Amino acid sequence: MMTLRQVEVVRAVMVTGTIGGAAKLLNVSAPGISRLVKYTEKSLGIRFFQRQNGRYFPTPEAQTIFEQINGVYKKVDDLTEIISKIGRGRAVELRIGSVPSISQVMVPRAIERVRRRYPELRIDINILKIEEAIDYLMLGKGDCVAMSYRLDHPGPRLHAAGIGRIVLHRAQGHELSGRKQVSAAEIVSYPLIGIDPNDPYGRVMAEIFARENLAYDITIRARFGTTVCALVKAGLGIAVIDQFTVAHGGYPGVELLRIAEQTKFDTYIAVKRGAPLSLHIEHFIDCLRSEMRTVEPGRPPRKPAPRVRKK
């Protein structure tokens, strides 16, 4: 049997035609190459090379062996290319699901970081309702889902993503402008725009008022937080909404106001329980966590990582 090292050395001599050339090719000493060739020929009982004028020529007996060695190296080259492609993200697809509130700002910022590491990674993003997350994962449609609400289901495994906060949005120039915070009791005296309280995401907003025994009367209902922001910007009312939708100035034209009551809520990243996670998925989860934690309540802002300039 030939070891991979013996195969490598014999092929190097075959390619370069000299012991010295093989040594340079493999970055080792020439005597070591010579000894290994002699040992391989002796142990196998086959003469690989005939020496003429300082050069090494394959013997007729070794031609078939060399053909097989070249076939092995072709497979190794193919394997190396596949590994390289995976390292760059090529020929791999990352399938991400996200609820609308997290998909607006947080997911794109996380994906930008993922692309820095895996520049050729294919990415598929789906905006999902919370109740759609189960089928998305369990039917193999996607790899992970960013969620703003905890689902009690045995299928997905939930990883903590970060802590969010509910804030008040109002159009620039609104009579609440200039205030640092506002109470739930004050909020309900204005026309409210929001998500249906029966919706899992809308329920998070409604809980603030339910705890205070206040009527949460929404005069205009919308399905997505971005639509709510557009309606607020148009001066049709104010809204309570999560901070992720408008983080980092994601929706200009609306102003944020802190709510006096406790408004923190947990966010999650769901994956299929028991399913192995690729490096690309794990890296996306780490990036999303990092981005979401930059806007956690009470956490000081962190300086962004320096961008690497392409040469």
User: Amino acid identity of 77?
Assistant: D
Predicted pLDDT at 65: 81
Q: If residue 169 lies in a helix (H) or strand (E), which one and from where to where?
A: strand 156-171
Are 134 and 156 in contact, with CB atoms under 8 Å apart?
yes
pLDDT in tens, the chain (311 residues): 778 888 888 888 888 888 888 888 888 988 998 999 899 888 888 888 888 888 888 888 777 788 888 888 778 777 776 666 666 656 678 999 999 889 989 999 999 999 998 888 889 999 998 778 889 998 989 999 999 888 888 889 999 998 888 888 888 878 887 788 899 999 999 999 998 888 878 888 888 899 999 998 899 999 888 889 889 988 899 999 888 888 887 677 788 888 998 888 899 999 999 888 888 899 999 999 999 988 876 554 444 444 444 44
pTM of the model: 0.68
Which residues of 45-189 form beta strands (DSSP E)? Answer: 49-52, 55-58, 93-98, 122-127, 144-147, 156-171, 181-182
Convert 9-35 to b/e letters by CB count within 10 Å (16 or more is b). Answer: bbbbbbebebbebbbebbeeeeeebbe
Give the Cα-Cα-Cα angle 20, 26, 28 (nearest 5 degrees): 70
